[in-house]
């Protein structure tokens, strides 16, 4: 049995390592930035909704299955510390938290260069906490995202860039459905 393992190790080619300054191999992207969120419930009384400036964070992990194409998963989170509330009664300070998990594809048309396009689809959730809204139900639903960005190499495997991202969510509570839109500009730190 040991002989078979030794022969297999010698006969099989060594696994290819990622070439320096090319988008291939392991993919890890950490992003943080500034954005805006608007959630609107057209079927709710008075067109209830909320919005405000957000601090978006994204962590993505995957692998390049083809040259320049990384597939993986991303966790996204946005926090609005002082959301503007419409059609919702609350005198206390509130915080809006939302997050999601997405399956993503990040494509670099020229894998040695930094231009890339990212698409994602997954599941998201919006929570409003604080004051009278603590009892307000969480909204959950489909989350779709797209982004375009450009990276600049800072080492053989690391790049730093800027990403313009937009998320669209179709969320539901027991009482209403919400449409959520989140444009954001993020700084990205990518290992690939």
Least confident range from 36-45, 47-56, 134-143, 170-179: namely 36-45
Give the pLDDT confidence score for residue 155 in this predicted structure: 94
E strand segments, 26-157:
26-40, 49-66, 69-80, 84-86, 95-107, 115-129, 139-153
Looking at the predicted structure, is the pLDDT value of residue 100 above 50?
Answer: yes
Cβ contact 136:88 at 8 Å = yes
The length of the chain, given as a count of residues: 192
Cβ contact 182:54 at 8 Å = yes
* 144 Cβ contact list (under 8 Å, min separation 6): 120, 121, 167, 168, 169
Of residues 33 and 7, more confidence is placed in 33
Domains in the chain: ranges and CATH: 20-191 (2.40.160.20)
Looking at the predicted structure, is the pLDDT value of residue 158 above 80?
Answer: yes
Give the pLDDT confidence score for residue 19 in this predicted structure: 76
Looking at the predicted structure, is the pLDDT value of residue 87 above 70?
Answer: no
Mean pLDDT of 168-182: 85
Give the pLDDT confidence score for residue 136 in this predicted structure: 65
Mean pLDDT of 167-181: 85
Mean pLDDT of 78-107: 75
CA angle 110, 111, 116 (to 5 degrees): 70
Residue 150: which of 37, 38, 23, 7 has the closest Cα? Answer: 23
Of residues 79 and 106, more confidence is placed in 106
């Amino acid at each position: 049995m040991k002989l078979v393992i030794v022969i297999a190790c010698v006969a099989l080619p060594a696994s290819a390592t990622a070439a320096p300054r090319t988008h291939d191999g392991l993919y890890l992207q950490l992003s943080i930035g500034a954005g805006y969120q608007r959630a609107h419930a057209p079927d709710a009384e008075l067109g209830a909704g909320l919005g405000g400036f957000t601090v978006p964070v994204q962590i993505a992990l995957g692998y390049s299955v083809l040259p320049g194409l990384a597939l993986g998963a991303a966790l996204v989170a946005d926090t609005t510390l002082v959301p503007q509330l419409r059609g919702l009664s609350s005198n206390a300070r509130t915080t809006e938290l939302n997050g999601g998990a997405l399956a993503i594809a990040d494509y670099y048309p020229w894998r040695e260069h930094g231009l890339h396009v990212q698409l994602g689809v997954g599941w998201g959730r919006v929570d409003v906490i604080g004051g009278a809204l603590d009892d307000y139900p969480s909204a959950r639903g489909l989350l779709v995202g797209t982004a375009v960005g450009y990276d600049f190499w800072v080492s053989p495997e690391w790049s730093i860039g800027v990403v313009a991202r937009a998320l669209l969510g179709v969320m539901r509570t027991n009482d209403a459905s919400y449409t959520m839109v989140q444009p954001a500009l993020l700084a990205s730190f990518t290992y690939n």
